[in-house]
A = this chain, B = another copy of it.
Amino acid sequence: MTPSALREIMDLASRPGILSFAVGLPAADLFPARELSAAAARVLASDGQALQYAVPYQPLRRQVVELMSMRGVSCREEQVFLTSGAQQGMDLLSRLLLAPGGRVILERAVYEGLQLAVRRLAPEILTVPTDSATGIDVDAVEALLATGAVPAFLYLITDGHNPLGVSISRDKRTRLAELARRHQLPIVEDDAYGFLHFDENPPPPLRALDAEWVCYLGSFSKILAPGLRAGWMVVAEPLIPRLSALKHAVDLDTPSFSHRVISEYLAAEDFPRHLERLRVEYRRRRDATLSALERHLSGRARWNRPSGGMFVWVELSPAIDAVRLLATAVERFSLAFSPGQAFAVAGTDHARHCLRLAFGNLQPAQIAEGIERLAALVQSAAH
């Protein structure tokens, strides 16, 4: 999907009265605005140098190391790069790892931001199957690598996949880490949703299984707020000098006010408790989505049961074109969602009859109402 098409959807979705599952927005009512405001005030009152140029903010790098340990990942401060969000990480790693015209391995349904980040480098895209129940087809990755293909990297969202909602099994993680080592294949692991898991003891991200080939992207957008424009990368030692030079060329690598505010917030507040609150609330919204689907679309559609994140993937009857369905949805039902085609790697149409429901920023009552409308829409499309 092009940026202008995305903006059109955001415009549509923000029209009064439109009930939108279209955009992957986190829950705005869960942003800790009061605590962030207090943190900002303390930062500005206490440190006259808080707004000055400086080197990347060490205290936040240390705090990210602690956050990573909550994800089962052990890393060092020097491996942590602070970014202005995971998207910047994708852009930087693409520029660093991928030569123009090089190859990347992508699932055939992939986050559109990654497609934007690599597109300017005109890579040859090696596509592997994926599905909303089990995620990336690791056999297909192995088969690709066995042909001797030398891709610049494989990109993957291990947990709470965007758009599919799926989190892959522990076994697939182990196999991917082994493949990465055996074939010296860099894996760009996007963990934007990893802290939002709904079950106890989820398997750790790939970065916990391999510190050499996995480049990890983290983000504060889903666990604090997107407007802070803050994320991080954890990379292997050999990449550090080049990444450091690139980061300086791109934005001087100077700490942003947001980095300071987040650091102060993390130091002052009970962040594990905040995360637990987020997990409970997103789980509640997932459950509302699943039970409404069960109630209204049973037998007429299939969907998965995400164990984390904020997306459910819905497959309608193969006869239905979800892009056309969206036009009707907006016009006649004041409803919006993302058609599967928005995430399909160019040239594939496996997702023509699919759609992504982003439930993160909707209350359960809105979710129930929206899915009732979706059922009526699907009903009308069947005639």
Contacts and interface: CB of A to CB of B under 8 A. Distances in A.
Contacts of A229: 84, 229, 251, 254, 256-258
Given A37-B45, A256-B227, A249 B55 contact: no
A118 to B, nearest CB: 9
Nearest to A28: B52
Contact of A100 (B40, B100, B249, B252): B100
A143 interface: no
A113 interface: yes
A41 interface: yes
Contacts of A241: 4
Contacts of A28: 48-49, 51-52
Contacts of A54: 10, 227
A120 interface: yes
Nearest to A228: B257
Contacts of A41: 37, 40-41
A44 B117 CA distance: 31
A7 interface: yes
A50 interface: yes
Nearest to A100: B100
Interface in A194-235: 221, 225-229
Interface of A is mostly: helix
A250 B91 contact: yes
Contacts of A169: none
Contacts of A25: 52-53
Interface string A95-114: 10000100000000000010
Nearest to A23: B53
A34 B44 contact: yes
Contact of A88 (B50, B53, B250): B250
A85 interface: yes
Given A4-B244, A48-B28, A256 B258 contact: yes
B33 A37 contact: no
A51 B33 contact: yes
B23 A50 contact: no
Given A87-B252, A91-B251, A250-B87, A227 B51 contact: yes
Contacts of A238: none
A233 to B, nearest CB: 14
A222 to B, nearest CB: 10
Contacts of A50: 33, 227
A252 B37 contact: no
Nearest to A224: B51
A246 interface: yes
A34 B50 CA distance: 12
Contacts of A120: 95, 246, 249
A60 to B, nearest CB: 13
A34 to B, nearest CB: 7
Given A40-B40, A227-B255, 15 more contacts: A3-B244, A28-B48, A28-B49, A29-B48, A33-B44, A34-B44, A37-B45, A40-B41, A40-B44, A50-B227, A52-B227, A116-B248, A225-B257, A229-B229, A257-B258
26 contacts: A3-B244, A3-B248, A7-B55, A25-B53, A28-B48, A28-B51, A31-B51, A37-B40, A37-B45, A40-B40, A40-B41, A51-B227, A52-B225, A52-B227, A53-B221, A91-B251, A95-B120, A100-B100, A116-B245, A116-B249, A119-B249, A227-B256, A229-B256, A257-B257, A257-B258, A258-B258
